[in-house]
Structure formats: structure tokens, C-alpha cells
């Protein structure tokens, strides 16, 4: 792990310091995106829309999902392993396409790695306070328990009111391809009920898997509720940061490289539905990630 103990500041809504803090790579290097599974593809789709000239490496830690029911220490360990691997792949920036990692690990790893690392919580919170004051957040149990969204929203607008709901069943249902199962709609109704009771005007997708549930959530929520997908604003922040660091790719982008720690076949089958094409997926074993991370000697 490459350590850097310099102070972190605030640039484009993300807590990284001045551009000279980073050992910046080449502008043609890929951007790294990671999630526990297919959730991060909702961020990837947004990246394709806003930054079509960038090359991407996507990692899904499918052997260890869901993250949302794991301890903060476990999540931080996984994130460190993935970032170490991504740095070895030569990425110029990482977007954590996972709210749970952003909520539990972003602050720690931003001061440990010498590349810009962006998370979803601040951009998502800032986007939400532009929309309303009665803000609901649906998230994994770990994200909801961290109150990362509550803190970020109140920092952006102290007059806002926030209700966070942990939704433990959503990620397993989505990863098992059960979005259209009547059970998913029933459980969604249960999770949203307390937020509807509170008359929220805005709802944040506090997990990157949840935009896949949009048609179901839309049917349950009053039509006056605005849905906020933090993917839109994190990619906008990434674009700003690339500009600032003079790291925008000017060459033709390479095809996205997909890696998972679990079954490549299962991932590509599921990913095809959401991407509209079947990705070629390679496996990186968990043992490779842990060995690589353990071999890093911190340079303090
Ligand atoms: N998609 C992730 C998130 O945004 C993680 C889901 C999980 O593995 O629990 O939090």
C-alpha cells in the first residue's frame, strides 16, 4: 500500500487534497470502478454517458458479497485489497461504485493511496438537498448504521430532515436475478412504508444496486417524490477532477475490462441484462487479493 500522510482538503466535493499530492499517471490510463457485484454497473453506465472517452477497469467482489451486512473493519480490509490490486493495474483514479465502501472506508483510504479516490456519499447528499428537505435514504444495513448520509446531508443543509432505512434483502434479490419476483415488490413496500409515512419529498438510492429497482419503487412511492441517483453526481465530480489534474483521456478508449472474485459466468449473465451486451469477464481469486495486499509494506 502506498501511504501518504498529507492533509486532505476538499476539491469538487470530494475529500482529496491539492493535485500535487498525487503521483498522477498517464491520461490514457483507465479509471477503476469497484463494487461487491453488479451494483457498480449503474455507475459504469453513467460513466459511459458522461465520460465516453475514458477506459475502465471494473471489479466486482462477488465471492464476498453482500458487503452491507459485514462489519466496518471487514469492509475496510476488502477495500484496501481491491485498491492495492487496482493501483497495480495502473489506474489513474478510482470511483468507489459502492455506497457501503464509501460510507465505511473512503476517509481512511484517501489518505493511504496516492491516487484520487471518489465516493458516492457527498456527491449524492449534495444532489439531494438541491431537490428537497425531507430526504429518505434506502441503503444497506452497514451504510444506514454508519449514518454517513445523515451527516453529509446535514452538513450540506442543516435544515434538512433525514430518514435512513437499511434494506438487507435487496442486494441478494438483485444478485439472484429476482428483480421481477412479486416478493421483491412486497419487501420494497415494507422498506418504503416508514419513509412514505414521513412524507419524504426526495429519496436517495443509497446503494448502487437499487436503481435496478426503479420501476418497482416508482409504483410504490407517491409521484411527488424525486429519486436521486448519486452515480450522476459522482461521475460529474470525477470529470471535474480529471480536468483539474489534466488527466482526461484524449486517445480512443480501450474496451472495459471486467474482473470478479467469484464466477465470471454468473456475473456476465447478470451484467448482460443491465449493460445490453455480454461482457468478457476474468476472475481474480480472493487469495490473490489478500496476498497482494499483505505483501505491501507501508512507507510512512
Ligand atoms: N452496491 C453496494 C452499495 O452501494 C454494496 C451492496 C452489498 O454488497 O451489500 O452499497
| Per-residue pLDDT tens over the stretch 45-96 | 999 999 999 999 999 999 999 999 999 999 999 999 999 999 999 999 999 9
Catalytic residue numbers?
98, 207
Find the mean pLDDT for residues 131-145.
98
CA 210/CA 198 separation, integer angstroms:
21
Q: What is the model's pLDDT at position 292?
A: 84
Domain range annotation of the chain: 31-119+232-295, 122-230
Q: What is the model's pLDDT at position 18?
A: 41
pLDDT at residue 293 tops 90: no
Q: How confident is the model at residue 9 (pLDDT cuts 50, 70, 90)?
A: very low
CA 227/CA 136 separation, integer angstroms:
10
Query: How is the beta sheet containing 134-139 ordered, strand by strand?
Result: 161-166, 134-139, 202-206, 226-228
- Give, for 96, the enclosing helix (H) or strand (E): strand 93-96
Q: What is the model's pLDDT at position 24?
A: 57
Grid coordinates given for 284: 481474480
Whole-number percent of the chain with pLDDT over 90? 86
188-218 pLDDT, tens digit per residue, is 999 999 999 999 999 999 999 999 999 999 9
418504503: which residue's cell?
192
Q: How confident is the model at residue 23 (pLDDT cuts 50, 70, 90)?
A: low
The reply to whether ligand 1 has any atom less than 6 angstroms from the CB of 14 is: no
Q: What is the model's pLDDT at position 222?
A: 98
DSSP at 281: E
Same fold, 31-119+232-295 and 122-230: yes
Find the mean pLDDT for residues 207-235.
98
CA 248/CA 207 separation, integer angstroms:
27
Q: Which atom of ligand 1 is nearest to the CA of 206?
A: 4
pLDDT at residue 19 tops 80: no
Q: How confident is the model at residue 295 (pLDDT cuts 50, 70, 90)?
A: confident
Q: What is the model's pLDDT at position 20?
A: 53
- pTM score: 0.91
Whole-number percent of the chain with pLDDT over 70? 90
Its CATH class, for the domain covering 122-230, is alpha beta
Grid coordinates given for 98: 459502492
Find the mean pLDDT for residues 268-291.
94
Q: What is the model's pLDDT at position 6?
A: 30
Question: For the chain, what is the mean pLDDT?
Answer: 91
Q: Which long-range contacts (CB under 8 A, 24 or more apart) does 23-26 make?
A: 23/114, 23/115, 24/92, 24/245, 24/246, 24/247, 25/90, 25/91, 25/92, 25/115, 25/247, 26/92
CA 226/CA 279 separation, integer angstroms:
32
Q: How confident is the model at residue 12 (pLDDT cuts 50, 70, 90)?
A: very low
CATH fold of the domain at 31-119+232-295: Rossmann fold (3.40.50)
Q: How far, in Å, from the CA of 17 to the mean position of ligand 1?
A: 27
The CA distances from residue 23 to 3, 32, 270, in Å, are 12, 16, 36
Residue 243: helix, strand or coil by DSSP? helix
CB 249 within 8 A of CB 25: no
Question: What is the number of helices (H) and of strands (E) in the chain?
Answer: 12, 10
Atom 9, ligand 1: which residue's CA is nearest? 68
Q: Best substitution site from 124, 171, 176, 262 to test ligand 1's pocket, by max atoms within 8 Å of Cβ?
A: 171
- Residues facing residue 32 across a β-bridge: 57, 94
Query: How is the beta sheet containing 31-35 ordered, strand by strand?
Result: 117-118, 93-96, 31-35, 56-60, 257-260, 281-283
Amino acid at each position: 500500500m502506498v501511504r501518504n500522510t498529507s492533509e486532505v482538503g476538499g476539491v469538487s466535493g470530494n475529500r482529496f487534497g491539492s493535485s500535487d499530492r498525487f503521483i498522477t499517471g498517464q491520461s490514457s490510463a483507465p479509471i477503476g470502478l469497484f463494487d461487491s457485484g453488479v451494483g457498480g454497473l449503474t455507475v459504469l453506465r453513467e460513466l459511459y454517458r458522461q465520460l465516453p472517452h475514458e477506459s475502465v477497469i471494473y471489479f466486482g467482489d462477488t465471492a464476498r458479497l453482500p458487503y452491507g451486512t459485514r462489519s466496518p473493519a471487514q469492509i475496510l480490509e476488502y477495500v484496501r485489497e481491491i485498491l492495492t490490486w487496482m493501483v497495480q493495474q495502473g489506474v489513474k483514479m478510482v470511483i468507489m461504485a459502492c455506497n457501503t465502501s464509501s460510507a465505511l472506508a473512503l476517509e481512511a483510504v484517501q489518505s493511504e493511496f496516492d491516487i484520487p479516490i471518489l465516493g458516492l456519499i457527498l456527491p449524492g447528499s449534495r444532489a439531494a438537498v438541491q431537490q428537497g428537505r425531507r430526504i429518505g435514504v434506502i441503503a444497506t444495513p452497514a451504510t444506514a448504521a454508519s449514518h454517513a448520509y445523515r451527516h453529509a446531508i446535514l452538513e450540506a443543509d442543516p435544515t434538512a430532515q433525514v430518514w435512513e432505512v437499511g434494506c438487507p434483502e435487496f442486494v441478494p434479490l438483485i444478485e439472484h436475478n429476482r428483480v421481477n419476483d412479486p416478493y421483491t415488490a412486497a419487501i420494497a413496500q415494507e422498506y418504503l412504508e416508514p419513509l412514505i409515512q414521513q412524507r419524504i419529498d426526495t429519496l436517495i438510492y443509497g446503494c448502487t444496486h437499487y436503481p435496478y429497482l426503479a420501476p418497482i419503487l416508482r409504483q410504490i412511492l407517491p409521484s411527488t417524490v424525486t429519486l436521486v441517483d448519486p452515480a450522476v453526481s459522482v461521475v460529474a465530480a470525477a470529470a471535474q477532477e480529471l480536468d483539474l489534474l489534466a488527466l482526461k483521456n484524449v486517445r480512443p478508449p480501450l474496451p472495459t475490462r471486467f474482473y470478479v472474485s467469484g464466477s465470471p459466468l454468473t456475473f456476465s449473465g447478470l451484467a448482460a441484462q443491465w449493460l445490453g451486451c455480454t461482457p468478457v469477464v476474468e476472475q481474480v481469486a480472493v487469495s490473490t487479493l489478500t496476498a497482494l495486499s499483505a505483501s505491501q509494506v507501508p512507507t510512512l
